[in-house]
C-alpha cells in the first residue's frame, strides 16, 4: 500500500524534492480518526460506542490507544472542557 501511495504522490507532482513536507499515509489515518470523533453525537453513550467502533476499525488492541485522538484538536478539547465544567458545576455531561 505504501508503494502505491508514494506512486500517487509522484504522479500528483508531490515529490521528495519539494520544499513543503510530503503527506504521509498515517496523516490520512489520523485525519480520518479526528474527523470521525468530531462528527460523533455528543451524548456519553454515543461517544462510548463510537470510540469502541473507531478503535476496532483502526486496529487498536486497547481502547486507550484511541483516546489520545480526543486531545488532538482544539474543538475536541473545548468539548471535553465544557463537559468537565458542566460536571464540576453539578450538571450532567
* Residue 3 belongs to some domain of the structure: no
Q: Is the pLDDT of residue 92 over 70?
A: no
* Residue 58 belongs to some domain of the structure: yes
pTM value is 0.66
**Interval 42-88: pLDDT, tens:** 666 777 788 888 999 999 998 888 888 777 777 777 777 887 788 88
* Residue 12 belongs to some domain of the structure: no
d(CA 10, CA 54): 31
* Residue 37 belongs to some domain of the structure: yes
- Give how many domains the chain has, as a whole number: 1
What's the confidence (pLDDT) of residue 93?
Answer: 57
Which alpha helices (DSSP H) does the chain contain, by range? Answer: 2-11, 25-38, 44-58, 64-67, 74-88
What's the confidence (pLDDT) of residue 4?
Answer: 92
**Interval 29-53: pLDDT, tens:** 888 988 888 887 766 677 778 888 8
* Residue 59 belongs to some domain of the structure: yes
Q: Is the pLDDT of residue 13 over 60?
A: yes
- Closest C-alpha among 14, 8, 60 to residue 33: 60
* Residue 83 belongs to some domain of the structure: yes
- The pair phi, psi for residue 14, each rounded to 5°, is -105, 80
Amino acid at each position: 500500500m505504501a508503494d502505491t501511495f508514494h506512486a500517487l504522490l509522484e504522479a500528483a507532482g508531490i515529490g521528495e524534492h519539494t520544499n513543503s513536507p510530503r503527506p504521509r499515509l498515517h496523516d490520512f489515518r489520523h485525519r480520518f480518526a479526528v474527523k470521525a470523533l468530531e462528527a460523533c453525537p455528543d451524548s456519553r453513550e454515543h461517544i462510548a460506542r463510537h470510540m469502541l467502533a473507531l478503535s476496532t476499525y483502526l486496529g487498536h488492541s486497547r481502547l486507550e490507544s484511541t483516546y489520545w485522538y480526543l486531545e488532538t484538536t482544539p474543538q475536541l478539547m473545548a468539548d471535553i472542557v465544557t463537559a468537565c465544567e458542566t460536571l464540576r458545576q453539578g450538571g450532567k455531561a
